[in-house]
Amino acid sequence: MADDPFALFDAWFAEAKAAESNDPNAMALATSTPEGVPSVRMVLLKGHGPQGFTFYTHADSRKGEELAANPNAALLFHWKALRRQVRIDGSVEEVGAAEADAYFATRSRDSQLGAWASDQSRPLDTRATFETRYAEMMDWFAGQDVTRPPRWVGFRVVPQQIEFWTDRAHRLHDRRLFTLTADGWTEGLLYP
């Protein structure tokens, strides 16, 4: 048994980067409305460590609005090539502006312009409308750096529980559950 779920995640994530051909940082993000209506979608992990697991989106997207109303979420990594999963449950906080700016600066220029052109999750009458807005952003930022849109933010899931699941023959899976307590992380096993 280990006592540091973040070290174990780092080891598994390194193996996933070597084994998974597409997006080893892809994770399912589950949110819910204040009434408990769930919603799930894939997002990309952009940072992780003892402080939590970070991704970026528009604050006015469905996920952003749900997280503002109910700042709790669950994440799921599924690495099929390794026959492993990691489940993370926790509270959510917004990252600081400097951290969001620093990450935004690493994105491709096209992705940066797309963030300005998109009203993420809002109804779109035609694809041509979005393409026109994208072209307008290309003109607007011509010859200059693209700054981060004010409502484009980062969220960090601060884990309370982290489960490491390993596939085993005959569905006799291995499940290790880390739970955060007042004294730090404790580890136990779950039945498959």
Element (H, E) at 45: none
The residue type found at 186 is: T
DSSP string covering 124-191: -S-HHHHHHHHHHHHHHTTTSPPPPPTTEEEEEEEEEEEEEEE--GGG--EEEEEEEETTEEEEEEE-
Active-site hit among 83, 168, 171, 175: 171
DSSP state, residue 22: S
Cα 100 to Cα 149: distance, rounded to the nearest angstrom = 10
DSSP state, residue 21: S
171 is catalytic: yes
Question: Where do the H-state alpha helices sit in 2-145?
Answer: 5-19, 62-69, 97-106, 109-117, 127-140
Q: Which residues are catalytic?
A: 171
